[in-house]
Chains A and B, each alone.
Chain A
Amino acid sequence: MVCPVCDNSDLRPFQGQNGFNIQAAFGVPILECSDCNFIFADFIHPQVIDYYYTHMCRSGSTPEEFNRLRQNARVGGRSQLMTMEPYLPSRIGRVLDFGGGSGEAARLFLPIGDEVFITEKDPHCIDHIMEEPRLQIIDGDDLMHEKYIGFFDLVIFSNVLEHMTYPAQRIQEFSRILSEGGQLFVEIPNEASYLRLSGKHCLQHISFFSLETFRKLIKKQGSFEIDDLRTCGPKIVDMVEAGELLHDFEAQDTPNGWVIRAMLRNIRPNTEIIQSGLRMDEVDATLSNLSQTIFLMNQVSTCQV
């Protein structure tokens, strides 16, 4: 692997407060770039990520838990809209909520957008989205089609990037489908700091950003101008003290807050499709790292049986 933010190949195992170094859902080592300090999970095969989200993620969630998630998404969506409002025109053409869950946030754009689209992989959420017929569901893979080049005027990319590999390519894909001057709203957790302080991370997250590494990522990708970049929500120190995930949807500007929000403008649209994946010179080290991780985990579990 090389650092997905700065391409540096000098990576070290991430050492947290309790020697933590394995991603909690996918079981791969967590690495840290020695140059930009970006923290991220080692290689996870795309089919494994798909398998996880198709079969395992939320497989045991109850309707009550889904209701709670939808409620939080609705309140969170309103808070995000407040952050976006100073930068939005009074009327938006086409809006896309990428990985939009049950569509709670996307619904908020129905009054101000000409058309509102949504992508989502979780089959439970698709049922919820279909409760609102004005939301247009798109298969995320279809966005590679030429007809979507420059198609959208606003893309909401909320709490998704941290679940994805190859973040620079993901940002690039939005430059391709946004119109020139189109806007990209990003929300991600400010998780690097939390991880360092607590040794914990959200179960499914595989990229752990800070304000600095996110800024570096946007600069490296090169298409977007940053109109706004801030942290908001609850203070990380309060979360560390509480030992759990807190919400503060009212807090729009919190120094070292849990939530990173960015309003980006697509001033240099790039329509190139960049293939993501390991380079040949990364393969041997990746095979070795994964093989070793399995060996070590196997030793520990064998000791416990």
Chain B
Amino acid sequence: MNCFACGSPNLVSLHENIFAGVNIRYVAHTGTGTQIVRCSTCGFMSVQFVHPRVAARLYLDRSNQPDPEKDSVRSMLHEENCISQLTSWKEHLPTHCQRVLFLGAGRTIQARKHLSFAQEIFTCDLVPEINAAARTASGVMVLEPDGLKDPNLEETFDLVILSNALERLTFPRGQLSTCARLLKSRGTLMFEVPNMSYERVREGQYSPEELNYFTKASLYALIKNEGNFSVTAFDSGEEATILKNATGFWGKDDSPLATENRPVLRMVLNNERHQVDTTRPDIDPQDIGEHLLMLSFACMIHRLSYQSYSLEASANPKSLLPTSFDGH
């Protein structure tokens, strides 16, 4: 299996997971349950494999009740973050911006306020509830994530902003290629991602919604491997740590309301349109066998972990635990 960022085959388990007979160590990503791998060439870290349909579920399964106080704080922080991003990117914004796409997780509702310089504003949020709310407002065209595949949108955008979305999307190389297809030639792609060191990921300082972990080096490796973009500007900044749970969907959201910050990386890219094949499959056919093996193994490991928790199907309505008896 190759690195989703640089394409190198040198992937290792981040948590030194081992499968040696009955001695199994399996530390998994808190959201998806699959292991995290690290590329020893470019340092990119990501969940080993999660199907896009499952990644979408991360935003559908609201496991806790809405918390109006936290939601209000989160909304304010989303706005602050949008302002901070645009301040940082100000000198690189296109002088003439007909059409802009703002793709985010939980914050596209802010787009109209901050992107008034564009004549047409399209938004696409990973959170269906945000898309539904945005539709009730005027002045923006709301796309569902699948809507980005519409061939009529190709080469129509002057600017695409990925606002803390790239770390939440499966197959980041494919996402950059999608942006390359949507952007006009010489169009601008701006994005922000958390700056996640090896230590931060290993200590679990990520949200269950975040699947990819970038450093400056792995971002450059990803851009080079994707092939359509040149880097116009690179910057670093901060975002409120609470925004890692952009949706506030997860029951274990114990992030403090106090605005503790975490580092982010910001980039401005120019769509050179090198005409790199943007239809490359997200899943390399050569990797399918390994993905199937890894997922199959993870199913067994999670099933074993049930046994060690001694859950009872009847005692826990959410449990999927079957009962069995020892036969042959």
Which residues of A pack against B, CB within 8 Å?
Answer: 18-28, 30, 43-45, 47-48, 51-52, 54-56, 59, 159, 189, 199-205, 244-245, 278, 283, 286-288, 290-305
Residue in chain B with minimal CB distance to A159: B328
User: Complex formed: what's the CA distance from A98 to B319 in Å?
Assistant: 37
With A45-B293, A291-B54, A297-B33 as given contacts, are A56 and B22 in contact (CB-CB < 8 Å)? Answer: yes
* Number of interchain pairs (Cβ within 8 Å): 167
Minimal beta-carbon separation of B113 from chain A (angstroms): 34
Minimal beta-carbon separation of A54 from chain B (angstroms): 8
Minimal beta-carbon separation of A215 from chain B (angstroms): 22
**A27: which of B299, B309, B314 is its contact (CB, 8 Å)?**
B299
With A59-B22, A202-B324, A202-B325 as given contacts, are A287 and B295 in contact (CB-CB < 8 Å)? Answer: yes
What 7 A-B pairs have minimum CB-CB distances, sorted nearest first? A202-B327, A298-B33, A27-B303, A24-B324, A27-B299, A45-B296, A290-B295
**A300: which of B251, B252, B311 is its contact (CB, 8 Å)?**
B311
Residue in chain A with minimal CB distance to B252: A302
Q: Which residues of chain B from 105 to 125 have a CB within 8 Å of any chain A CB?
A: none
B57 touches A295 (CB 8 A): yes
**B57: which of A56, A204, A287, A292 is its contact (CB, 8 Å)?**
A292
Give every chain A residue within 8 A of B296 (Cβ-Cβ). 26, 28, 43-45, 47-48, 290
A292 touches B325 (CB 8 A): no
Give every chain A residue within 8 A of B326 (Cβ-Cβ). 202-203, 245
A51 touches B19 (CB 8 A): yes
B45-53, B65-73, B185-193: which lies at the A interface?
Answer: B45-53
A290 touches B292 (CB 8 A): yes
With A55-B22, A291-B49, A292-B54 as given contacts, are A201 and B324 in contact (CB-CB < 8 Å)? Answer: yes
B292 touches A199 (CB 8 A): no
Give every chain A residue within 8 A of B32 (Cβ-Cβ). 291, 294-295, 298
Give every chain B residue within 8 A of A54 (Cβ-Cβ). 21
**A287: which of B19, B291, B301, B321 is its contact (CB, 8 Å)?**
B291
Q: Mark B28-71, 1 if CB is under 8 A from A, else 0.
A: 10111110000000000000011101100100010100000000
A300 touches B293 (CB 8 A): no
Residue in chain B with minimal CB distance to A73: B328
Give every chain A residue within 8 A of B314 (Cβ-Cβ). 18
A290 touches B63 (CB 8 A): no
Minimal beta-carbon separation of B145 from chain A (angstroms): 16
Q: Is B323 engaged at the interface, CB distance under 8 Å to the other chain?
A: yes
Name 4 extra pairs, CB < 8 A, besides A21-B320, A287-B292.
A48-B300, A204-B327, A291-B50, A304-B311
Q: Is B147 engaged at the interface, CB distance under 8 Å to the other chain?
A: no
B328 touches A20 (CB 8 A): no
Minimal beta-carbon separation of B28 from chain A (angstroms): 6
Minimal beta-carbon separation of A98 from chain B (angstroms): 14
With A26-B296, A48-B296 as given contacts, are A301 and B306 in contact (CB-CB < 8 Å)? Answer: yes
B323 touches A24 (CB 8 A): yes
Minimal beta-carbon separation of A71 from chain B (angstroms): 14
Q: Is B234 engaged at the interface, CB distance under 8 Å to the other chain?
A: no
B299 touches A290 (CB 8 A): yes
Minimal beta-carbon separation of A223 from chain B (angstroms): 26
Residue in chain A with minimal CB distance to B21: A55
Give every chain A residue within 8 A of B57 (Cβ-Cβ). 292, 295
Give every chain B residue within 8 A of A288 (Cβ-Cβ). 51, 53-54
**Can you give 25 contacting A-B residue pairs, CB < 8 Å?**
A20-B322, A22-B321, A23-B322, A24-B303, A44-B296, A48-B293, A159-B328, A200-B325, A201-B324, A203-B324, A278-B292, A283-B292, A288-B53, A288-B54, A290-B299, A292-B54, A295-B31, A295-B32, A295-B50, A297-B299, A297-B320, A299-B61, A300-B316, A303-B251, A304-B309
